[in-house]
A = this chain, B = another copy of it.
Amino acid sequence: MATTATTEKGRRTRQRIIEATGEQILAAGIGGTTLDTVRAATLTSKSQLFHYFPGGKTELVREVAVWEGEQLLAAQEPEIHDLGSWESWRRWRDGLVAYYLGQGRWACPIGSLATEAASADPETSALITTSMSAWKDMLAAGVARMQAAGHVDASADGDLLATGIVASIQGGIILSQPERSPRPLEAVLDQVLDPLLVRTGTSRA
């Protein structure tokens, strides 16, 4: 498999294709993204697309899924590695909302891929699940840190809580999308983060 990327130049071209495709998918969905529009946006040719992605569109979409997954986590640095205090959670929350806001479009690169790929390409679907799990695990680690610090009930199921947070983000974005407003996302995030943010030292029965 020495085919796909050998030269530095080649790697950059390949990366350019992935990123442009990601943007188009975010804006128009997988179905609304064609190899021709990608080609136009990247000033490449058809042969390059198949040179770097022999598996065609399917493979390209998969690479996009992986890339977006990494980007999403990267966008949450450095807070995602902290999350050991209420302040850190809040900064993380604000940063996340800002990230989606900066996206221009109210859609999660991963979430939108998830729904569309689920019924089309199981392998892409699996990649996305991996991303989601990694994300959830980092949040769960944060919850565990809160518990270790005694800020949160040790009896709470951190994994379940983290799952709820991720789900809330996804659902919040779905509702934010048509409204073109961060409100729904913020509303649901605040609700689900409540147990982490609210109890300033005192626990709520």
Where the two chains meet, the residues of A that have a C-beta atom closer than 8 Å to any C-beta of B are: 27-32, 107, 111-112, 114-116, 118-120, 125-126, 128-129, 132, 160-161, 163-164, 166-172, 174-175, 177-179, 183-185, 187-188, 191-192, 201, 205
Are A29 and B188 in contact, CB atoms less than 8 angstroms apart?
no
Most chain B CB neighbours (cut-off 10 Å) among A111, A120, A167: A167
The A interface, classified by DSSP as helix, strand, loop or mixed, is: helix
Min Cβ gap A43→B in Å is 24
**How many chain copies?**
2
Most chain B CB neighbours (cut-off 10 Å) among A29, A183, A185, A201: A29
Give the residue of B116, B126, B164 whose beta carbon is less than 8 angstroms from that of A116: B116
Complex alpha-carbon distance, A6 and B178, angstroms:
35
